[in-house]
Amino acid sequence: MKKLLLLLTMTMCWAAQLQAQTRFNERPKLVVGIVVDQMRWDYLGRYYDQFQDDGFKRLINKGYSCNNCLINYLPTITAIGHTSIYTGSTPAFHGICGNTFYINGVKRSSCEDPNVMPVGTNNEKKGKSSPVNLLASTIGDQLRLHTDFQSKVIGVSYKDRASALPAGRSANAAYWIDTDNRQFITSTWYMQELPQWAKDFNAQMKKNKELQKVGKDVGLYPLCGHLIADMSISALKGEQLGKGKETDMLCISFSQTDIIGHEWATRGQHTDEAYLELDKDIARLLKAFDEQVGEGNYLVFLTADHGGAHNFQFMEDHKLNGGAWKWDGVYVKEAAKQLTEKFGLTKNIIKDCLDYRVVLDKEAIREQGLDEQAIRDAIVEEIQKLPHVSFAFDFKKAATAPVPEFLKERALKGYHHDRSGDIIFMLEPGWYGFGKYSSPVGTTHGEWNPYDAHIPLLFYGWKVEHGATSREVHITDIAPTVCQKLHIQQPNACVGEPITEIIDD
Ligand SMILES: [Zn+2]
């Protein structure tokens, strides 16, 4: 009897061990990341009744929803959001500090790369892009490392930053749209020539009458989303993603929602149409994954790079707090004038003001023999005096700044010593920088407030049970969660934590 019990126990242990061992090499055939640019979390509820059954609703009703996913750094900007989702990290580590920022004193677009050439176009304005400025690995990079580069990883979007940064430095390809020529392009970072399936797709685009009609402004129409979905499906089929021995990955980002939001804000027919049309694109994508790799064999996550504020006039019309903060014009110029008088400046010492951060011209400060710290203190003081500024502080003096801890923490997570400027400020709730990126009836994003920082996060498919949580999770938790599910190492600057609710081992 004793022997039998022992044998039974051993068998059970062995079976349990086998199960655990088996799980370590189990992975889906395909992983798909979908980013909806500027999608606020509350849109899931706002449009729920109008969504069809097989788009967003399929993800919500069969997948797992994290209903309190927050962006835990500042500023809440496109290039940073896309990078943080896929690296599980923040600008302090991954170095992508904005859509545009300074590197060694030179202003650069996030994906600007002088050492690559466009592929699929001669348009150097649109094609000299790569993830060269990215200082961290992505989920896709880790997948490639884990499988000795057998996994294929591909990015598709309208914007270079929404395609190249998510896919990562070792990606097989990233495609984005050259709006001047209305073609999907890439750069020599990845390849010398577009694959035939991409050339064929571009040839179809040339014949698209609706596209020719809207021309360069394609981003302002739901058509942009249809093209991104179609290109993603072409990549899926053309590259036979999910058909190989190892797991492949597709990083898709829909940009039209952001461009439409900037133009027409959060309410009205344009935004409604954008989300209901996107719902159809999501449904088409899911159907294509079903057909290509089979339901249950792929893992999808859907999220956003940031949200967006309600339009200031809309807020005012309803007696709500908020307004347009004229930072390109009146306010910063006024602060600069005060400084000039106070220090007897002969040359401007503010190099730039980007995403609520002031970049000092250190050379001009040195040339004029000024005390840099005195200048920094004076700028903080001047900014703090401006109307509708809640807080301003010097990054170097963050520890002693009279600012709530969680805001300091978000600011510092977003601070890279060389790339993020010198002084940060935050506006009163509802107020946003009104400049070249927002129309009078549009909106923008970039701040800590829930309207900018509360994003949707849905997981669906491979080993994902239906459910939801309102526990606070962060944008930086997405990458470690996906990596844990795939049993691969987290990206090399990852600071997030796996969302254990959707991990079964
Ligand atoms: Zn964005």
State pLDDT tens for residues 224-246: 999 999 999 999 999 999 999 99
Taking the alpha carbons of 228, 169, 71, 407 in that order, is the dihedral positive or negative? negative
| pLDDT at 114 exceeding the cut of 80 | yes
Centre of ligand 1 from the C-alpha of residue 347, in Å: 35
| pLDDT at 271 exceeding the cut of 70 | yes
Catalytic residue among 9, 22, 76, 78: 78
| pLDDT at 121 exceeding the cut of 80 | yes
Task: Tell me the CA end-to-end span of the chain in Å, nearest whole number.
Answer: 34
Identify the CA nearest to 491 among candidates 80, 164, 141: 141
**In this predicted structure, what is the pLDDT of residue 153?**
98
- Supply the angle between the helices 332-343 and 372-385 in degrees, to the nearest 10: 140
Centre of ligand 1 from the C-alpha of residue 390, in Å: 24
Average pLDDT of the chain to the nearest whole number: 93
Centre of ligand 1 from the C-alpha of residue 444, in Å: 9
Centre of ligand 1 from the C-alpha of residue 351, in Å: 25
Residue, of 324 and 191, whose pLDDT is higher: 191
**In this predicted structure, what is the pLDDT of residue 9?**
59
Write out pLDDT tens, residues 74-108: 999 999 999 999 999 999 999 999 999 999 999 99
Write out pLDDT tens, residues 354-382: 899 999 999 999 999 999 999 999 999 98
E strand or H helix that includes residue 460? strand 457-461
| pLDDT at 21 exceeding the cut of 80 | no
Please report which confidence band the pLDDT of residue 8 belongs to, taking 50, 70 and 90 as the band edges.
low
Task: Give the E-state strand segments of 278-385 in sequence order.
Answer: 298-303, 323-325, 350-354, 357-360
Centre of ligand 1 from the C-alpha of residue 157, in Å: 12
Reported pTM: 0.94
Centre of ligand 1 from the C-alpha of residue 36, in Å: 8
Q: Among this protein's residues, is 78 annotated catalytic?
A: yes
Centre of ligand 1 from the C-alpha of residue 258, in Å: 6
Q: What is the dihedral of CA 116, 121, 123, 125, to 10 degrees?
A: -50
| pLDDT at 16 exceeding the cut of 60 | no
